[in-house]
Amino acid sequence: MTRSKTVWLWVQRLCRWALGGLFVFAGAAKLMGLKFSWAGVRLLLAEGSLDGFKVLGITAFRDEIRNYRLEPVWWIIHPAAIVMPWIEIVTGLALIFGIWMVEAAVLILLMLLLFNGLVGSAIYRGLDINCGCFGTDMKVGWLKIAENMLLFALGVVALVARRRLHRMPAAEPTST
Amino acid sequence: MIRALARVLVLLVGAGAAATVVNAVRPKPLRWFVTKEDVYPAPLPVHIESEISLDDFLAAIDHGAVVIDARAEDKYRNGHIPGAHNLPAHSIHENLGRIYEWATPEMLVVVYCAGGIDECDESRTVFDALKENGFVNLRLYLGGWKEWTQKNMRISEEPVDPQ
């Protein structure tokens, strides 16, 4: 394998694993209604204590969606609370294991665009709410949008790396 | 292209199937179909800005209000309004963070204590602390425990939250 191919292969893998892993965690956190702060993470690392973590159930995620004040599409809130975590988990796993990678990555990129749309809408309307992401107590804001854009970039890089790999010759020419 | 769309559909259908099964086996499944009133209840009619009557309090409970008992722990343990969380006024500043386990600042929160206009300083203390911390939808049930028990309403001695 050429050096260039090795580099692109590992770029693709690392991006897939990072993005896929984050989405599996995000989906699982929503399913459990996991809530924690970074102070809780420090407490876990320093003392092995889970006091900074709470499990509130799926209704916590439903309430976080509700906080976005989606009155025009109120009918989507409960189905979204039920299905969205599983879409994140399924696409995240597909990405980690490289199954239907392009389709899984595209779905994740679309979800990130949707999330940024919602966060942007909340910022525009002046809502002071938790973003409902990853179980943290992070509020909606420009930092959240930047974070999602970074994840979006990871997905794009993974797709670009895959395309590069597919365009490279399959076998190295043998010297005679 | 068709193959890609088919794969996307399979991923979405697979996620939907997993969601349906897991939701169905939950002890309290989330309902798929609800009314707008369930999601975004109409504002309660309140006669006075923040102080509510027993009837308004009962309506608030039906609307999913978070109920806070501002009395001391021992009084709470001896009996409280079913579903009420204990946030004692005497230790409100140390324990205020617990409110975020039960409510977000936009949710309707009703605070009560012993009861009676001259005997409910505890609920006012908790009410003011919550207001200072961004809770915008607060009510005071001034009739409190006194009126609740006088009307022979149902009580509970089981703590809602693990101690």
Q: Is the CB of B22 less than 8 angstroms away from the CB of A31?
A: yes
Does any domain span residue A54? yes
Q: Give the contacts of B13 (CB within 8 A, at least 6 positions apart).
A: none
Backbone dihedral angles phi then psi of residue B66, each to the nearest 5 degrees = -85, 125
On whether any CB of chain A is under 8 Å from the CB of B16, the answer is: yes
* Chain B, nearest residue to A90 by Cα: B15
What are A159-170's pLDDT values in tens digits?
A: 999 998 888 876
Tally the residues of chain B. Answer: 163
B109 interaction partners in chain A (CB closer than 8 Å): none
Where is pLDDT greater, at B71 or A176? B71
Considering only CB atoms, which chain B residues are within 8 Å of A40?
A: none
User: Which residues of chain A does B15 touch, with a Cβ-Cβ cutoff of 8 Å?
Assistant: 83, 86-87, 89-91
Is residue A49 included in any domain, yes or no? yes
| Residue A173 within any structural domain of the chain | no
- Say if the Cβ atoms of A85 and B20 lie within 8 Å: no
Judged by CB atoms closer than 8 Å, whether chains meet at B8 and A129 is answered as no
Q: Which residues of chain B have pLDDT under 50?
A: 45-48
Return the H-helix or E-strand segment holding B139. Answer: strand B138-141
Tally the domains of chain A.
1
Does some domain include residue A174? no
Residue A67: its chain B contacts at CB < 8 A?
104, 106
Question: Quick check: B30 and A62 CB within 8 A?
Answer: yes
Q: What share of chain B is helix, strand, coil (3-state, %, to 5)?
A: 45, 10, 40
Whole-structure pTM value: 0.64
Q: Flag whether residue A100 sits within 8 Å of chain B, measured between CB atoms.
A: yes
**Contact: B15, A71; criterion CB under 8 Å:** no
> What does the pLDDT look like over A9-64, one tens digit per residue?
999 999 999 999 999 999 999 988 877 777 777 778 888 877 767 777 788 888 88
Residue A101 domain boundaries: 3-167
Cβ within 8 Å, pair B4-A91: no
Residue A96 lies in a domain: yes
* Sequence-distant (≥ 6) Cβ neighbours of residue A146 within 8 angstroms: none
Tell me the nearest-neighbour CA distance from B134 into chain A, angstroms: 9
E runs forming strands in chain A: 34-36, 53-55
Q: Are A54 and B101 a contacting pair at CB < 8 A?
A: yes
Q: Tell me, yes or no, whether A172 lies in a domain.
A: no
Mean pLDDT of chain A: 86
Residue A176 maps to a domain: no
Q: Structure tokens of A40?
A: 């809780």
